[in-house]
Amino acid sequence: MWSVITYIIASALTVPFVITWVIYKWNRVNKKTRLYAFHKAVTWTNILYILSVMMLCKVIFDHFFIGYILVFHILLLSIIIIHQRINHTEVIFGRAWKIVWRFSFLLFSFLYFALILYGIIHRLLFL
């Protein structure tokens, strides 16, 4: 039983874009709008992209970047909260976190594909 769960988690971390697509399609089938389905897919699979990038960095660079990722999220959240305070005089933490989470999806999905490409080229050239 544990081996099946392990394989499912390993597959989700190996190809998170497939899970993103499945969640998107699931929400579209349930008569939701495309935008709603996309936002739900982004929300639920962002953690997979973050974990995938962490694992790819461990494999390629032999170093974990957990601390850097946490500091990045905290700094980005701080910047957005300061921006809200200056421009709107009201801080809405949920809105700030949502912006951080969506930006994080964009960044880590790009990093995922860039690290996959880098890893393939690195292994081919330096085998």
User: Which secondary-structure segment (H or E) carries 105?
Assistant: helix 93-125
Read out DSSP for the chain? -HHHHHHHHHHHHH-HHHHHHHHHHHHHHTT--HHHHHHHHHHHHHHHHHHHHHHHHHHHHS---HHHHHHHHHHHHHHHHHHHHHHHS---HHHHHHHHHHHHHHHHHHHHHHHHHHHHHHHHHT-
pLDDT band at 117 (very low <50, low <70, confident <90, very high): very high
121 has a pLDDT exceeding 80: yes
Q: Tell me the pTM.
A: 0.89
Other Cβ atoms within 10 Å of 52 Cβ, number: 23
pLDDT exceeds 80 at position 49? yes
CA end-to-end span of the chain: 36
Is the predicted pLDDT of residue 32 greater than 90, yes or no?
Answer: no
For the chain, what is the mean pLDDT? 92
Report pLDDT for 8: 81
- pLDDT tens figures, 66-116: 999 999 999 999 999 999 999 988 999 999 999 999 999 999 999 999 999
